[in-house]
Amino acid sequence: MHIKDKYSIFYVLVSIGILVTFIFNVIDCLYYPKSRGDESFYIKEVRRLTETGLWNTFSSGTSHLYVVLGFIFTKLSGSDLVGLRLLSISLSFILMYLFYKISLLELSNIYLRTLFMLTVSYVIYCSQAGKCFFMGISDPLMITIALATIMFIMLYVNLGKTKYIILSAIFSGMLFWVRTFSLLIYVGILCWIVLSPFILRNYLSFKRYIRNICLFLAINVITISLVQIPSLLTNSTFTFENKSKIMGLDWEANNWLTGLQRRPTNSIFCYSKLPWDEVEDYITKFGYSSIPRNYVERFKRNPKMIVEAFSANLLFRVPFVLFVNIGFLIIPLIYILKMPEKWFSIISSKDWLILLVFIIMPISLSLVTIDYIEQRWLLFPIFMGALLGVRMMLLVNNIKFKKAIYNLQLIFLLIVIYYRLLKYFVCHII
């Protein structure tokens, strides 16, 4: 049997499973609308834009680009919640297009390209992490802008045209139009720009290197500052979204007290969140200053808890989330991660960009998170891990090993997709 024919049935079955899951998710989020998680916050932000105007909303801090796009989609749909969810679904299509363009740049092998596209489709439309693409929150917009930045840097490496450095600088600056959480992605991108003479080796002259850094940072500053003009003129400072301020909920206090009290749940990765009335009672009794407000204060107050949270997240939570999302592509990824001494000799300049973002973001999240890391927070490292895993399969010389990983990944996708479909059917239809 020809290899194309052998895998065709797997491709079809996985694709059908993804399509059916997508349809079910769309029906759920559009025809049975009930706000979940942070959706109520973003609905309030869009309504605040409608009621107080662009200037007042921007000057007091918000997710600048998201609320503008959210305003447009809610007006078109006639519903705040449905409009925000339609925005996320629309962004998932743009994200898939960007992945396809990147796969053309990075993956010359059609079978690996197909495997990669099926894997990211599963993550977006079927996985727990990808549920945010059917919710009215800002994560899909942040991830889409970040991926566009990665694509433009890859185009710069391929073609050497300055316009792609400019575009990557604009889009990386626009990350801060969405949320400050983007800093974790931005650091990886900036590291690549700074380290580019070593990564690109003889390709980049020192003069061009200095020019690129200055151009990138200057455009970054200008782009970030554009939406901050109302805040700078009104408050003389930069302002961003503040969920605690708008919702009246002190998440820093809740996370800290949750870590201290350690009430068990059914999950091995997290403790039960404290009810908000208990958090308020604690602050009333011991004062606002009893809650450490930054990493240094938290570490001084309880270093044991910080070290335990960091270790648990980085060594257990992150690998678990990676595996349930990218499956057996984690094996070739581990193959390269365990040999840092060979990174400079076998990893291409574009792979370095992916690797830096992939490594820096989970480590940073594990450092600053005293509770468990949510799967959606790791979405961008998940995507980078999938791309890097497929890319590393090209470096493995063992043909049997490659075929084994390829077959296992297809079987993994079949199992998890149809398991989720069965679970949906049992919960919603029977």
Confidence label for 97 from pLDDT (cuts 50, 70 and 90):
very high
Q: How far apart are the C-alpha atoms of 234 and 236, rounded to whole Å?
A: 6
Percent of the chain with pLDDT over 70: 91
Distance CA 97, CA 93 (A): 6
Whether 260 maps to a domain, the answer reads no
Does the residue 285 lie in any domain? no
Q: Is 265 inside a domain boundary? A: no
Rounded to whole angstroms, the Cα distance separating 14 from 8 reads: 10
Whether residue 429 has pLDDT greater than 70: no
- Any domain includes 134: yes
The DSSP code for 309 is: H
In a domain, 276, yes or no: no
87: closest CA among 45, 150, 149? 45
To 10 degrees, the CA torsion angle through 69, 75, 80, 85?
-50
> pLDDT class for 2, splitting at 50, 70, 90?
very low
On the question of pLDDT at 246 being above 70, the answer is no
Please name the residues in contact with 386: beta carbons below 8 A apart, sequence gap of 6 or more: 116, 119, 120, 123, 325, 326, 329
Once rounded to an integer, what is the mean pLDDT over residues 242-260? 68
Count helices and strands in the chain by DSSP H and E runs: 22, 0
Residue ranges making up the domain that contains 154:
3-250+291-428
Give the residue-averaged pLDDT of 133-153: 96
Question: How many whole angstroms separate alpha carbon 337 and alpha carbon 332?
Answer: 9
The contacts of residue 251 (CB under 8 Å, 6+ apart) are 243, 244
Domain membership flag for residue 102: yes
How far is Cα 337 from Cα 351, in angstroms, rounded to an integer?
12
Tell me if 137 sits within 8 A of 37, measured CB to CB. Answer: yes
Predicted pLDDT of residue 325:
96
Q: Which residue has the tokens 């380290």?
A: 195
- Residue 321 and residue 57: Cα distance in Å, rounded? 36
Our CA angle for 16, 22, 23, nearest 5°, is: 90
Torsion-angle region of residue 75: left (phi > 0), alpha (psi -120 to 50) or beta? alpha
User: CA torsion, points 10, 16, 17, 20, in degrees to nearest 10?
Assistant: 180
Angstrom distances, CA of residue 360 to CA of 34, 251, 328, 375: 35, 24, 22, 16
Instruction: Classify residue 257: in a domain, yes or no.
Output: no
Closest CA to 421 of 124, 33, 117, 18: 18
Q: Report the mean per-residue pLDDT for the chain.
A: 87
Would you say residue 148 has pLDDT above 80?
yes
Contact 42, 84 (CB under 8 A): yes
- b/e for 203-236, b at 16 or more Cβ within 10 A? ebeeebeeebbeebeebbeebbeebbebbeeeee
- What is the model's pLDDT at position 280? 80
Residue 244's pLDDT is: 61
* Whether 119 contacts 409, CB under 8 Å: yes
Please write the tens of the pLDDT for every residue from 296-337: 888 888 888 888 888 888 888 899 999 999 999 999 888 777
The winner for highest mean pLDDT among 157-161, 260-264, 277-281 is 157-161
pLDDT confidence of residue 326: 95
Residue, of 109 and 430, whose pLDDT is higher: 109
Indicate the pLDDT class of residue 201, thresholds 50, 70 and 90. low
Q: pLDDT over 90 for what percent of the chain? A: 52
User: 188 phi and psi, to 5 degrees?
Assistant: -65, -40
Q: First and final CA of the chain: distance in angstroms?
A: 40
Q: Is pLDDT at 5 greater than 60 in this prediction?
A: no
| DSSP state for residue 32 in the 8-state scheme | S
pLDDT reported for residue 399: 86
Residue 261 covered by a domain: no
Q: Which of 34-43, 83-92, 141-150, 334-343 has the lowest mean pLDDT?
A: 334-343
- Which of the four pLDDT bands, split at 50, 70 and 90, describes residue 424? confident
Mean pLDDT of 45-55: 94
Domain count, the chain: 1
- Return the beta strands (E) in 285-412 as ranges: none
Q: Would you tell me how many other CB atoms lie within 10 Å of the CB of residue 419?
A: 12
Band of residue 194 on the pLDDT scale cut at 50, 70, 90? confident
Looking at residue 423, what is its pLDDT? 85
How many beta carbons lie within 10 A of that of residue 400, not counting itself? 7
pLDDT for position 398: 81
